[in-house]
Chains A and B, each alone.
Chain A
């Protein structure tokens, strides 16, 4: 764990640079295009609109008994926006060190800056969307006080995403295939989470698979928060903390093992 804390201390000293890099990343994603950063919002908003229109308006589908809410579209939107943010951050974060290879080989910078700035940039882009989500669902439960739990929940989601992106970036620097593998896992990961269907619909014997997905506790928490106005279950918080602990340990190991050679691999 010491390796991880040393890296974090170094990064804290470079926080102004991190801020500059994040801004640069946000601008660079859409630099040269006319609509600029608006493009970042088009896909999530269109997806949300499509879910609402197709499932709630056209099909009028309803979920079975025991589900947090009646309407399918409403249910889908709560899970898919955070999942889209997660995929964006982790997907870009995994290849961030490789993309910044030439920069790292010519400047003395800690490699960890790059996955973290990618996650921060994604957070800057998706943050307003998630906030909008919370505010849009708030009236459903007359602005219940439990909504304040959204803040720590989203903060912990950010932490898990950052640790995972950093870890995967180091692995991708060692073996390029990791980028492809992560893309694949993210594509099917949505089926191994409560985004598309409530946990209750999943066979009991296989529910542990869902807990292997770091976003499962986040989505469960958001669903109970926004669809039922209830404070997220203890299991959610425990699972999140467990994920953070596991990721931190593995990350510390990888950081210590790769510190000397990482830039040489890029």
Chain B
């Protein structure tokens, strides 16, 4: 339905308007190039919904304008089948001196709806916008909400084949917002392809099958919504966390990190997570988090204690569990090493990147022998779509 190949847009920046004028007549390059978009390719099939996320200035609006044909690409091509409707900056084509009804006909002709077809659609539009007799008055007497309602009703009067929405779900009051969302959902059910650009991750997660992440004009990532959105969240968080906060020592119960007594021969030898793939960082397959920590205490039969700490990658700490607190006992391996296997069944965390640390204690759990701080990192994708950090066990109603 929509195919984009190597799309790019170069904005030429001239030192002054005179230079711009001269560039019309000479072949010499008198400009500085700013590539707002570069090498973007993707394909959308019927009924798919693609989300577009990214920072401000990443090229999202440029991409949408290129798709609607409002601006011309510098490289690459756009191909689409059928009608493309864009809900961008509603009400821009209205002439304030003319009545709402006249603007309907004029606006309709701008998007390719002829006079006869508009006459057929007019009652439906009037009803949807709930403007009543205000349609006879000039648009300059409308409130901004009325303009936007009329524009939305006009633009969505005909079922499109490709619908492009740019942060425009916040139109009008709640009642109208609900009507807008219902109409968009109806389009989707009828097989319309939707391209949705937003900063609201809740909406992107709820509505989109796959997502595109644009960064500095280039395609940073494309794929299933949950993966791309959580990767973007990690990136956004890493920009927020200041350098100072990253260096802050993490409080470890019963010991200071770094102040451990290196007893000769007492050390952690291995730490791994079961059931991950080979990506970097590895993705946790399945719903259980199983951590294996292997330690070696040479020349002693002391039973060590192990503490495992789970934190968000460059974020908050989440959980700390130790063999001492839970009364668990490490297993002795045939070669004399000690091994603990810690399982978090059905990991109740939301999607994101996490990191595990392991600490080796003495039998009393007081002296820290070794630490592997933030050693194992993994990515977790939780198909649950509601916002939050953890999924707490709960029930509804009175028990």
Contact = CB atoms under 8 A, between A and B. Distances in A.
A171 to B, nearest CB: 7
Contacts of A258: 24
Interface residues of A, number: 34
Given A28-B97, A106-B93, A261-B12, A176 B17 contact: yes
B21 interface: yes
A65 interface: no
A102 B23 contact: no
Interface in B54-93: 68-74, 88-89, 92-93
A175 interface: yes
Interface of A: 16-17, 20-21, 24, 27-28, 31-32, 102-109, 170-171, 174-178, 253-254, 257-261, 263-265
A27 B97 CA distance: 10
A171 B20 contact: no
A264 B71 contact: yes
5 contacts: A32-B138, A103-B93, A108-B68, A174-B17, A177-B17
B17 A257 contact: no
Contacts, number: 75
Contacts of A177: 17
Interface of B: 11-12, 17-18, 20-21, 23-25, 68-74, 88-89, 92-93, 95, 97-98, 105-106, 109-111, 114, 138
A254 B24 contact: yes
Given A107-B70, A108-B69, A260-B74, 14 more contacts: A24-B95, A28-B97, A31-B97, A31-B98, A102-B92, A106-B70, A106-B92, A107-B93, A107-B110, A108-B70, A109-B110, A171-B24, A174-B17, A259-B72
Contacts of B21: 171, 174-175, 178
Contacts of A105: 70-71, 92
A16 B114 contact: yes
A265 B20 contact: yes
B109 A264 contact: no
A175 B98 contact: no
B217 to A, nearest CB: 15
A263 B106 contact: no
A27 B106 CA distance: 12
Contacts of B74: 260
